[in-house]
Amino acid sequence: MTTTSPTPCFIPPHLRKRTTTDPATSAKSPASSSLEPPAPAPKSPPSPPSSPELVLGAWDEPVPVAANAPPRNSKWPKQPPRRTPWPKNRDMRPVDHSSDGGVDCWENFSNGNSDPDRDVKQLIDWEGKWLPAPEQWNDRNGFTDRHFRDNIEAWINSTHKECTEFIIVEDAANLPTKEFGAGRELAPRFWIPVRIDGSAPQQFWESLPTRAPKPLSEVDLAEAQPWWDTYPDATPYLSPLDVPEARVDAREEENRRPGVSLSSIETGEKIKRAKQARIDRIMAKRNGPSPAPKVEVPPEALIVPDISLRPKVNIYLRPVSPTDVAQITDIYNYYVTNTIKANEFNARSHTHIAGRINDIINCGLPWIVAVDKALQPANHLFNFVHEKIVGFVSLDDHCDPGSMYRFTYEMEMFVHPGYLNKGVGKCLLDRLLSIVNTGYTAKRGYEWRCPGEYLRNDAGRVIKTINVTVPLDHDNVDEIKWVTAFFRAFDFRKSGHLMKMAYKLGKTVDVCIYQHHTTEEINSNAIPQRPL
């Protein structure tokens, strides 16, 4: 009995079933077509190596093995190497890029090749895996819809005219602007359902409040209006709903926090600014400090401005001397008798003023006088007797040097009544601050003489705070402004205004306090040498 080899039929790798087939059952009936695949053979257990068996070939074709053949060492028999059919020159044709690529299946049948699996074999490699797309497919054009513009135009023409036309509205600044739809809600009329639960939409809406189950919302549907009834005329837009104005209850504690009163737009802008600021900080830290652009400074800008004082009288400054007591007493008594600048009512004696000067000098504090040069004899260099004193300034302890106020001092300054508003007080104050404050920049513009040892090396005390108590007329507002501006030019800040503190010469007196802080570093834990 002879066995007939079945007609070969190609099966893709993912559809193959590598099982042993029986030659008797795999015989094909002569009446069957040669193009039909063989019927699947039933599975059978493997036979021993000595029994006749069929070994699958390279394309799953059963190969008969003799019964007396020796056992094989491997599972698959060794097949002769298959030669690679290299293409001939006549078979190498140029690629036709006029077509869309791909494989022409009809050409396979027209050239006499009746293998139905030829197309599939061209799409897999020698291992049975799918090949990538052919290289010539890269030249194919992309898909374009020729009727895209026509479809868009037909869609636009089918909508309502209000959806495609501008509507004049007013913006936040009540200015007319053009917008599409003006922010209204678009709901085409074909959205209205024809039937809802087997009823007309209007009947369904009327019966909805009485239907089971009971609505969970507290809104009374009997008084509500269905959305399809909110169309104004024949437009595809819905009328805006009446939204109650929402206000924040300021009586609740949660609503008194900062930022609660902001609107949603303002809150969004605030969050946006915070995010942008964070990004700016990160980028600035990442990029590092950028070099400052080189700016060409004109030569005239390099000139240091002149801040020197320009008194209207020819004066010079020096430390106080014993011969100045009489003139200082006369200047001070003028303010005691005729003004509210001194708190006494009776004139002071020479002995009183001399004692005050001695106390200040012995404590190492400054007392400076201003002298008019015009009345000084030309043949006497330091003839203090014939000099004319036109003003003085001094510092005194605010409290005892052994108290906690040991670095705070009180300043007094008086100018001769015939030399007011001539720049004498500015010169005295500028020289005093240059002596007691190492961080102060002196304005100069006057002459300073120091013939003795007193104040040759500046003050002998540590000075941190200087207080100036200025009595001012309560009804003279212009004087208060002028005094404040005068002291501000010398880094004095107004620290207090005491109203109606005193009464003298028929005037109500206010007291303004001005303070100047030096650059001295003070140890707050230290105690004075002789504490109280």
3-class SS string, 275-330: HHHHHHHHHHHHHCCCCCCCCCCCHHHHCCCCCCCCCCCCEEEEECCHHHHHHHHH
Could you tell me if residue 426 is inside a domain? yes
| Residue that is written with structure tokens 């053949």 in the block | 69
Name the domain boundary from 214, 236, 258.
236
Could you tell me if residue 376 is inside a domain? yes
**Close Cβ partners of 128 (under 8 Å, ≥ 6 residues apart):** 12, 13
445 three-state secondary structure: coil
Name the domain boundary from 460, 484, 507.
460
| Model pLDDT, residue 176 | 62
* Domain coverage including residue 210: 204-236
525 three-state secondary structure: coil
299 cis-preceded (ω within 30 degrees of 0):
no
Helix 325-338 vs helix 350-362: crossing angle, to nearest 10? 110
pTM of the model as a whole: 0.45
| Model pLDDT, residue 334 | 95
From first to last of the 532 residues of the chain, give the pLDDT tens digit. Answer: 555 555 555 666 666 655 544 444 444 444 444 444 555 555 545 544 444 444 444 444 444 555 555 555 545 556 666 676 777 777 776 655 555 555 555 554 444 456 777 778 888 888 888 888 777 777 777 777 888 888 888 877 777 666 666 666 555 556 566 555 556 788 888 888 889 888 998 888 888 878 777 767 666 666 778 888 888 877 788 887 777 777 777 778 777 777 777 777 888 888 999 999 999 988 888 887 666 677 777 776 667 676 788 899 999 999 999 999 999 999 999 999 999 999 999 999 999 999 999 999 998 899 999 999 876 655 545 555 578 999 999 999 999 989 999 999 999 999 999 999 999 999 999 999 999 998 898 888 899 998 888 888 877 789 999 999 999 999 998 999 999 999 999 999 999 999 999 999 999 999 999 999 999 989 889 888 888 8
| Model pLDDT, residue 392 | 96
| Model pLDDT, residue 12 | 65
Query: The CATH number of the domain where 438 resides is what?
Result: 3.40.630.30
Could you tell me if residue 525 is inside a domain? no
Number of domains in the chain: 2
Q: How far apart are CA 411 and CA 287, in angstroms?
A: 53
Could you tell me if residue 369 is inside a domain? yes
Could you tell me if residue 51 is inside a domain? no
Q: How far apart are CA 474 and CA 470, in angstroms?
A: 12
**Close Cβ partners of 390 (under 8 Å, ≥ 6 residues apart):** 313, 315, 370, 371, 372, 415, 416, 418, 419, 424
